[in-house]
Amino acid sequence: MFYATLEGLRRFKIPHKFEFVSIISLYAQWIREGRLNVDSSWNSDGLKFTVQDPCKLVRQGLGDAVAEDLRYVIKKVAGEENFIDVWPRLSNNYCCGGGGGALQAGFVENRRKYGKLKFDQLAATGADVVITPCHNCHTQVLDICDFYGGKWKTTHLWNWLEKALIIDGSAGRAGKD
């Protein structure tokens, strides 16, 4: 939806008065502004995090800025030292191999073969958690992890954001008075 609308407006030069923002960039903005307070102290075990840059969101969508925001939020949530980046990264990151209908269309063997590169890349980081902000990537990364015997957990960002959230009653909740 997000990418299709964005690209449609861009390609056909349709005038519009709104802008496209990912919730990730808003998290990052709110954390920077101090409106969303997070603390990585929950991660006393030092769980290591890495990341998947979804093609539609980053390379084809909003560019490297959103991917940098994603890393910023993860580092805030899990601790600076607990983030291990992949290579190649940002716009140059590998495709998960599950897009273009591959997850739905039934070519399982092919899809997993494409996903091997992604698996090797993620496994090389040694991370315990892979953050995938795209539902499609999530399903694929989950599947290749399982299929090729990976050890990591595949999750969205908010699962961990919620762990790190500090709700300070005196400041009130974000967005409310």
Residues that bind another protein (CB under 8 A): 64, 87-92
Nearer Cβ to another protein (108/124): 124
Nearer Cβ to another protein (2/87): 87
List the alpha helices (DSSP H) in 12-134. Answer: 23-33, 64-78, 102-105, 108-125
At residue 154, φ and ψ (nearest 5 deg) are -105, 120
* Minimum gap (Å) between residue 61 Cβ and another protein: 16
* Minimum gap (Å) between residue 113 Cβ and another protein: 12
At residue 38, φ and ψ (nearest 5 deg) are -125, 155
* Minimum gap (Å) between residue 114 Cβ and another protein: 11
* Minimum gap (Å) between residue 87 Cβ and another protein: 6
Nearer Cβ to another protein (64/128): 64
Contact 131, 50 (CB under 8 A): yes
Nearer Cβ to another protein (86/102): 86
* Minimum gap (Å) between residue 117 Cβ and another protein: 9
CA atoms within 13 A on the CB side of 147: 18
Contact 133, 24 (CB under 8 A): yes
Nearer Cβ to another protein (86/145): 86
Q: In what order do the strands lie in the sheet with 129-131?
A: 49-51, 129-131, 153-155
Contacts of 16 (CB under 8 A, 6+ apart): 9
